Chain A
Amino acid sequence: MTTTRRAVLGLLILSLGLVAEAAVERATRTERPPLKQSLQTIPMTLGNWVGKDEPVDEKIAVESQATEYLNRVYTLKGRPGVQVWLWMNYSDRGLNLRHSPEVCLPSGGWEKVEALTKVVEIERSGGPPQMVSLLGYGKSELVQKIGFWYYIFGEGRVERFVRGLPISSRSSHGRTTRGSGLTVEVFYPSETGLGDAELRDFIAELLDVIDPVLPEDRASYHIP
């Protein structure tokens, strides 16, 4: 075969690849389900916790790539110093999923404290238990803990199966999500005196109230 023909063949195959890529993208397009209600409908009072909205830095809001977000401080009734910061953000294209504590906090100078990192199961009265990653990050004398989990909406069985395999990438790399997504982060600096029991209580209360907000077709993940 002449060189020119080989060049034409190579270009043809790769051009075909680009067309096939567009076709497969179109054929396998998944719905990106919206939230059933706005995140703002999440109540200010969660059991013994009372919340207050906090403004979000404009730059952070833009970089989060979220369609909608919620940033609140919840204080435990009767214990004013015991507070948690709730940061939830939803993206209709799942773009927010590339932001995870493991990616974003080190870039802000926070170092992961492996000894504070574990996965816990939060028992709930009204539904299945939720796996949550508890992470610890330190900067100078400060240590903050984070409860983290996230949802992907609209992906099919194949994606869910593959996502559980060791060969799949995690959400934080942001190129494998074909649905929409919601991340939930609960921050609590260690000096607030909050223990694991209070945190579990807060997460359990939160899980009950976010259920009506989330689309039915969802999968839950916790590994950042």
Chain B
Amino acid sequence: MATSTISARDDASAPAPRELPPLLAQIRDGWRESDGRTALLGAAACLALLALLFRSTLVHFVQVWSTDQNYSHGFLVPFISLYFANMAAQYGPIRQVPAVGLGVVLLMMALLGRLATIVVPVGIASDLSFIAGLAGIVALFAGRDALSRYGFALAFLVFMVPLPIHLYTTIANPLQLMVSKAASVILNGTGLPVLCEGNHLTLPGGVRMFVAEACSGMRQLTGFLALTTAVAFLTPRPRWYRLVLIGSAIPVALTANVARVVLTGWIMAYDPKLAMGTFHTIEGLLLMGFGLALLRIECAILNMIVEEDRPTSTSPNPAPAAG
């Protein structure tokens, strides 16, 4: 008797079994079926071969993410993609629509991209081909609908791909000049006379200030583009709203940078030492916060114009309550 009483009490107080994240739950459910098990094992084997084929690309990713501050967010991107995939999985099982042709085409494209990189030194072809290969495996084993549902999570991986350095500097250099000019106009307009020569600003007293490549806005732009795309995906709003949000990454990053240079100019005019080392880093973080605030204000204004989309259970894109 005593034993059964204790047992009953234990049952009552025992915590409810922990729910698996939807993505893992779907994998578990798939594993329980013979056909699903074959698909999962086949997909895992294909993923292993794909990783082997693209080993130099994967090594390159890790090398760039860990050494280039412009892409330090690269480590986070796969996890954010998994988060998106998990969100997409909460809409339940997917109708299996065979997409063998599409899967084969995507895998062949991935192979061609990889082989092309051996012949010509264009690393980005291999980088993007790796994502195409992943999409091919999804299409082959999970079908067209799955590719459609998890397409965003896969496409988001593009933010982990480093831009070719030539292309990066081609974009960053004009931005650098633009930021310098805009900052000098504002500094002059706010009562601090400066002479702008290219990326050099000369402040009163001959204090020289240089708008470095890191201040061009590219570093923030790469981060903001990933961020606004993620926010746009999570926001239950119309397509145009999301596009505006993603497009605004460029002006927001530039505005934040101009503000940073203007602030640095005023600080340097007061005491040049305060614009160096840790102070400069703190300034950068503050201005990143300023950029985020600009995005928040933009969302608030857009929210006044448009109403929230009503999520439907058949919606391919998850629409959480976050506003």
Contact = CB atoms under 8 A, between A and B. Distances in A.
Interface of A: 1, 3-4, 6-11, 13-18, 20-21, 24-25, 28, 103, 107, 112, 114-115, 158-159, 162-163, 165-170, 173, 175-178, 223
Contacts of A10: 42-43, 45-46, 103, 107, 136-137, 140-141
Interface residues of B, number: 49
A13 to B, nearest CB: 5
A158 B118 CA distance: 12
Interface of B: 35, 38-39, 41-43, 45-46, 49-50, 52-53, 56, 60, 63-64, 67, 98, 100, 103-104, 107-108, 110-111, 114-115, 118-124, 136-137, 140-141, 164-167, 170, 199-200, 208, 210, 212-213
Contacts of B64: 173
Contacts of A166: 164, 166-167, 170
Given A114-B210, A167-B166, A1 B123 contact: no
Given A6-B100, A6-B140, A169 B165 contact: yes
B67 A107 contact: yes
A14 B35 contact: no
Given A21-B118, A176-B123, 5 more contacts: A10-B42, A18-B49, A159-B121, A168-B122, A173-B60
Contacts, number: 131
Contacts of A4: 38, 42
Contacts of B199: 114
Contacts of A18: 49, 52-53
Q: Which 4 A/B pairs are nearest by Cβ-Cβ distance? A: A7-B42, A176-B121, A14-B49, A166-B166
A92 B173 CA distance: 34
Nearest to A160: B121
Given A14-B46, A15-B49, A163-B121, A7 B38 contact: yes
B53 A167 contact: no
Nearest to B53: A17
